[in-house]
């Protein structure tokens, strides 16, 4: 490919990032940028081929729609709310470690409520007023919740995990097992770092709210509180061989079992449950899978104009670049765009498929890109979840981002060391 095409492709990529920073619709920007690169390269049909290829990835699609469908059922029946309030009761015993405990509780809840914005809304509405009432500065309270919104990567059915599994030709549960400890350590680092920031700034106690903000008096139904995590236990018990019959269950099957269990426990209207499940499935296709499709169109455009080949040559010559790119590329793009999904998917579809050429396993490189993107988004002031948490706390999102930044910077470097230098 000529130097002119490479320069034009680079300009389009920079323009794509700029438009995403300006909060233009992500799917529109990715699709149009990919199509434009393909047209300039003289192969406009490459973008459409990428679109068609993405539409056939049923392995990824099945898991995503089932998880999102189950999440909507949990919201309808308020089982997610019972789980949150159960954990809030436990937080009252955390004492001086209330801030990191709140982050880790959100981290755990996010495995079931996998949307960062959705988890921020569900947990933040309860936990942020609770922290403020306990004397925690509003900025720290908001940051504590948002710092826990990448625990979804523990869920085998989460979209990003499914993409890594597809690229690595591996089982989703194996992908989670592979990045379990780096992800867990990242969560702990983020939580502890935020506590240190609060202590240094003297924001961990002593704040007096303008009005009395207290957590709602809510009676927890323990059966309802357990329902959200049952599908995860089913998958783990099957994968570990503790219950052989569960080994044959796909992620989608476990989620459907969770839906039926929700009905048994709550006795909600079955028609409404079915409607909400398919509502969630539709949202998954339109929002989550839509980004994956458009990211693949973007990747095909990069391939046709020669950017992917140029990146491959650079990384093959200098393998260390691949590890840095897989880490800080998605991380920085997520900070400036407010979304870790698009950057991670594009990188994994374009580069991770060739990971072995750089001396890395596809599962390691894929998870590294996914976690890095999630960490970058967790210190972005323009991320949807950051804006939601900030609204609950009545602060500027930049105040939240500044407090989460130290922990995310440390966590992304530690993650790179653990997954990139095995």
pLDDT reported for residue 241:
73
Q: Say if residue 20's pLDDT is above 60.
A: yes
User: Which range among 292-306, 374-388, 392-406 shows the weakest confidence by mean pLDDT?
Assistant: 292-306
pLDDT category of residue 213 using cuts at 50, 70 and 90: very low
Domains: count for the chain: 1
Closest-CA residue to 275 (of 136, 73, 7): 73
Tell me which of 413 and 301 has the higher pLDDT: 413
Percent of the chain with pLDDT over 70: 92
Q: What gap in Å lies between CA 199 and CA 270, rounded to an integer?
A: 49
pLDDT value of position 99: 93
Model confidence pTM above 0.85: no
Distances (CA, A) of 105 to 183, 204, 216, 254, 361: 15, 17, 18, 23, 31
- Calculate what percentage of the chain has a pLDDT beyond 90: 27
Helix (H, G, I), strand (E, B) or coil at 400: helix
More confident residue, 89 or 136: 136
Most confident of 167-181, 220-234, 244-258, 345-359: 167-181
- Terminal Cα-to-Cα distance of the chain (whole angstroms): 35
Mean per-residue pLDDT for 283-294? 75
> Is residue 254 exposed (0-12), middle (13-18) or buried (19+ Cβ within 10 Å)?
buried
Write the DSSP string, 316-380. Answer: HH-HHHHHHHHHHHHHHHHHHHS-SHHHHHHHHHHTGGGGGGGT--HHHHHHHHHHHHHHHHTT-
- Higher per-residue pLDDT: 230 or 62: 230
Query: Which stretch of 43-47, 344-348, 362-366, 409-413 has the lowest confidence by average pLDDT?
Result: 344-348
Please state which of the ranges 64-68, 241-245, 336-340, 351-355 shows the lowest mean pLDDT.
Answer: 336-340
Of residues 287 and 139, more confidently modeled: 139
Q: Note the pLDDT of residue 319.
A: 67
Average pLDDT over residues 47-55: 81
* Cβ atoms of residues 147 and 190 within 8 Å: yes
Q: How far apart are CA 206 and CA 120, in angstroms?
A: 24
What is the average pLDDT across 280-290? 77
Provide the domain limits for residue 20.
3-420
pLDDT, averaged across the chain: 84
pLDDT of residue 244: 82
């Amino acid at each position: 490919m000529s130097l002119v095409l490479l320069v034009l492709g680079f300009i389009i990529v920079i323009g794509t990032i700029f438009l995403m920073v300006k909060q233009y619709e992500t799917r529109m920007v990715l699709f149009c940028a990919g199509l434009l690169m393909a047209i300039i390269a003289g192969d406009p049909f490459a973008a459409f081929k990428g679109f068609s290829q993405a539409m056939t990835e049923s392995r990824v699609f099945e898991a995503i729609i089932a998880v999102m469908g189950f999440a909507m059922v949990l919201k309808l029946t308020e089982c997610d709310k019972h789980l949150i309030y159960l954990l809030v009761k436990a937080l009252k015993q955390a004492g001086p470690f209330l801030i990191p405990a709140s982050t880790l509780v959100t981290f755990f809840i996010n495995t079931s409520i996998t949307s960062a914005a959705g988890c921020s809304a569900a947990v933040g509405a309860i936990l942020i007023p609770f922290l403020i009432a306990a004397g925690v500065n509003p900025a720290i309270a908001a940051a504590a919740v948002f710092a826990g919104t990448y625990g979804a990567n523990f869920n085998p059915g989460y979209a990003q995990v499914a993409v890594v599994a597809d690229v690595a030709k591996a089982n989703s549960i194996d992908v989670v097992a592979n990045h379990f400890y780096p992800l867990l350590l990242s969560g702990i680092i983020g939580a502890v770092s935020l506590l240190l920031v609060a202590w240094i700034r003297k924001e961990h106690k002593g704040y007096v709210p303008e009005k009395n903000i207290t957590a709602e008096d809510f009676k927890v139904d323990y059966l309802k509180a357990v329902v959200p995590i049952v599908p995860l236990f089913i998958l783990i018990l099957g994968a570990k061989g503790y219950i052989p019959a569960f080994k044959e269950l796909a992620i989608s099957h476990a989620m459907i079992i969770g839906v039926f269990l929700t009905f048994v426990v709550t006795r909600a209207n079955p028609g409404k449950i079915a409607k909400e499940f398919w509502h969630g499935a539709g949202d998954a296709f339109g929002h989550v899978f839509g980004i994956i499709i458009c990211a693949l169109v973007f990747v095909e455009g990069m391939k046709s104009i020669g950017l992917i080949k140029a990146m491959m040559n650079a990384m093959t010559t200098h393998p260390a670049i691949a590890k840095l790119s897989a880490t800080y590329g998605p991380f920085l793009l997520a900070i400036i765009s407010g979304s870790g999904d698009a950057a991670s998917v594009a990188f994994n579809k374009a580069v991770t498929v060739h990971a072995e050429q750089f001396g890395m396993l596809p599962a390691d490189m894929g998870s590294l890109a996914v976690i890095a993107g999630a960490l970058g988004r967790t210190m972005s002031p323009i991320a949807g979840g950051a804006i939601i948490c900030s609204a609950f706390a009545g602060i500027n999102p930049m105040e939240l981002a500044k407090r989460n930044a130290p922990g995310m910077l440390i966590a992304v470097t530690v993650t790179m060391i653990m997954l990139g230098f095995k």
